[in-house]
Structure 1
Amino acid sequence: MNRTDLSPLAWLAEVEARRREAGLRRSLRVRPVVATELDLASNDYLGLATHPAVIAGGIEALQTWGAGAGGSRLVTGNTELHQQFEQRLANFVGAPAGLVFSSGYTANLGAVVSLSGPGSLVVSDAYCHASLVDACRLSRARVAVTAHRDVDAVAAALAGRAEERAVVLTESVFSTDGALAPLRELHEVCRRHGALLIVDEAHALGVRGLGGRGLVHEAGLAGAPDVVITTTLSKALGSQGGAVLGPVEVRDHLIDAARTFIFDTGLAPAALGAASAALDVLIAEPTRAADVLRHASVLAQVCGVRHEPQSAVVSVIIGDAEAAVAAATACLDAGVRVGCFRPPSVPEGTSRLRLTARASLTERDLELAVRVLRDVLRDHPAVSS
């Protein structure tokens, strides 16, 4: 058969069949306006996405500035909202300056690519988020991937480098297992070897540290000149967008060099208004962070997780991908929505239920969660947690 007789997309059918056979086919599910099930899958850790003050903040910004930013922030898309919010967020986490991006994904791409580049070394934890993985690929730096939370491996990679500059990447709270990065130890190694530490605080902001200021703040590294924070506004702050927080010279450099900032439309004003209002709520109600951890502990206990959760994430490893999907489906059928993570999000053989605690869960919510999770895990037992 002549090659021109085949559709250039014919190969997708074979790929789709392989995914389906492996239990890795994904689909989009429409979420209703008013959900009838208990949500233990979203990253709305503080329960602020539907908070009246947060919604009001978004509406006020929308009415004042319009629906969109209108262009790149370097052209027409920069507003008082952008600059006021990024400085407020920087002050909150203890960083000298901040720069808002359109998402946490673009913040990670912009920070890593702009602060590394050809002739440098990037050392990345094996469990880093896909956005950091993609940033490594785009950086054109030499990349060394180290075992999860292995400080000695990071030290060895830095000690053996020939490159003048080096950057170490880690999440502070890892999104798939909820584990904490050994930030103090990593920072000590970075300082010893003259490396920059970039910490993704997406799952720590609002949950760890004094009043939710993040794990970098909790570790006593806030404001360190060799630490850069990236984060998202779409989790604990219940909105949309991302930010890079750190030294003033980093902000200045990103404005000149980060392609995901220069060539991207500025974050929509409504998202900034909502995020700013959410930050107000967090500052006024600092106990929300402790509530998240308290509720995560309840979920971990009923699921038989051996270790006390250190974040909002409770990871329940089922093992087989189809078994994990079946367990998640059973939970949803019983009125509780949970996350289901399969390869490539997690390693082969470690497909899991990913539960996320929220500060806004009520006692009735927790009672339903305990009842459903206990029943489902009896039929679909975890292999380890």
Structure 2
Amino acid sequence: MSWQQRIENTLYQRQQQGLLRRRLAVTVSAPASLTKGEQHFTHFSSNDYLGLSHHPAVIEAWCKGAQQWGTGAGASGHVTGYSPCHQQLEQILAEWLGFPRAILFSSGFAANQALIFALAESSDTLIADKLMHASLQEAAALSPARYRRFPHNSLEGLTRQLRATETVNRLVITEGVFSMDGDQAPLAAISERCREHQAWLMVDDAHGIGVIGEEGRGNCAQQQVKPDILVVTFGKALGVSGAAILCSDAVADYLEQSARHLIYSTAIPAAQAAAVLASINIVRYQPEHREKLNQNIGHFRTQCTQQGIMLTDSLTAIQPVIIGDNHRALAVAQTLQSAGHWIQAIRPPTVPVGSARLRITLSAAHSTQQIDRLVEALHHAL
């Protein structure tokens, strides 16, 4: 089969299965507002959990940073792209999250892949939660290390895999909050298993940082866990973009020598680092944003229960409504959009086959009235 035939056949099959994806040009003018053409929507599909992407202090920090350092870093951090502002952000991250070092990356995807590709060799074993992020799944599958998976959040499954592997170096990989289900990993118990079997623990807390725990330190801090490696991103609750790996001095030095995504990529702009610094300051010292988010989560779940809408056990900002069938999930999402609520249907391969869903995400920027209108529309659409 030629490339052209393969491409056309794949697109046709995805169309028939209700799996074809399209990008849509929209304007997000405020954390809870979205415009597509002339239509206006309340935005319930964003990872901007605290509404900080439009916070005046974060915007001002980026603008001042661009005036001082320009709009781009101009080079890899190993050449001239590493400024005092980048250095300050790494130092603040390390101090805030309780690690010796932090290394900046352009995205969470890049950070996850850089870590796995730099660390894993053929004599090592990677043991990962089956629902971990695609960036980690791909890196683990392509790395030379042995790759083993355990059922989602299953301590028994993790223990079996640890007992079944005898390699000297074993890295257990999980997430703090899982992006499609909104549930949290039992990190305290996972960390204990890792200690018992002398394995390292890596946690991707992209959806926990900023919204969970004291000062928004994330899921690890809330469960009093110190993983060997922690990945955090700046594009969710912090409202900006980029990521960092938190680790020991030795691992940081090793990544500086070996992480190709770091060495061969232009660094994030210094102005972006300044915006992240401003966002971290808000997260740490203005807890009212987290308090408002938690109030919104509780209100949404209470209203759904009263309307007989089935939810998962998620207590985070990610509130999935499982539909099952791909075409029906698309239809329900379209009905909600027609009522002015921007929600997308999430389908395989992003989620397991048969679990197509509405991925509703709440923000501190939502009002009680907006949530009430969404629940009413959900009740009628389902």
TM class, shorter-length: over 0.9
- TM-score normalized with structure 2 length: 0.93
Q: What CA distance in whole angstroms lies between the structure 2 residues aligned with 1:92 and 1:339?
A: 34
Deviates more, 1:70-79 or 1:18-27: 70-79
**Does 2:107 align with 1:107?**
no
Q: 1:19 aligns with which of 14, 31, 38?
A: 14
Q: 2:52 aligns with which of 48, 52, 56?
A: 48
Unaligned runs of 5+ in 1: 378-385
* Counterpart position of 2:229: 228
* Structure 2 CA distance for partners of 1:308 and 1:346, relative to 1, 3 Å: closer
Deviation at 1:291, TM superposition (A): 2.3
Q: What CA distance in whole angstroms lies between the structure 2 residues aligned with 1:291 and 1:213?
A: 17
Q: What CA distance in whole angstroms lies between the structure 1 residues aligned with 2:346 and 2:94?
A: 32
* Counterpart position of 2:355: 350
* Structure 2 CA distance for partners of 1:299 and 1:56, relative to 1, 3 Å: same
Q: What CA distance in whole angstroms lies between the structure 2 residues aligned with 1:57 and 1:292?
A: 24
* Counterpart position of 1:74: 78
Identity fraction in percent: 34
Q: 1:166 aligns with which of 166, 170, 173?
A: 170
1:122-141 aligned within 5 A? 122-141=126-145
Q: What CA distance in whole angstroms lies between the structure 2 residues aligned with 1:305 and 1:292?
A: 21
1:291-310 aligned within 5 A? 291-303=292-304, 304-305=309-310, 309-310=314-315
1:188-199 aligned within 5 A? 188-199=192-203
Deviation at 1:33, TM superposition (A): 5.2
Q: What CA distance in whole angstroms lies between the structure 1 residues aligned with 2:208 and 2:368?
A: 24
Q: 1:201-255, CA deviations, whole angstroms, 9 ceiling, x for partnerless residues?
A: 000011111131101001112xx3x521101100001001011012222211111
Assess if the C-alpha contact under 8 Å between 2:62 and 2:274 holds in 1.
Answer: yes
Assess if the C-alpha contact under 8 Å between 1:166 and 1:196 holds in 2.
Answer: yes
* Counterpart position of 1:61: 65
* Counterpart position of 2:37: none
Q: 1:370 aligns with which of 367, 371, 375?
A: 375
Q: What CA distance in whole angstroms lies between the structure 1 residues aligned with 2:162 and 2:9?
A: 42
How many residues in Structure 1 have an aligned counterpart in Structure 2?
369
Q: 1:9-37, CA deviations, whole angstroms, 9 ceiling, x for partnerless residues?
A: 23100110000000000001001254221
Q: What CA distance in whole angstroms lies between the structure 1 residues aligned with 2:314 and 2:292?
A: 13
* Counterpart position of 1:181: 185
Unaligned runs of 5+ in 2: 35-39
- TM-score normalized with structure 1 length: 0.92
* Counterpart position of 1:318: 323
Partner of 2:343: helix, strand, or coil?
A: strand
* Counterpart position of 1:146: 150
* Counterpart position of 1:245: 246
Deviates more, 1:288-297 or 1:77-86: 288-297
Partner of 2:358: helix, strand, or coil?
A: strand
Partner of 1:10: helix, strand, or coil?
A: helix
Deviation at 1:308, TM superposition (A): 5.2
Instruction: Give me the CA root mean square deviation.
Output: 1.6
Q: What CA distance in whole angstroms lies between the structure 1 residues aligned with 2:377 and 2:278?
A: 34
Partner of 1:229: helix, strand, or coil?
A: strand
Deviates more, 1:66-75 or 1:304-313: 304-313
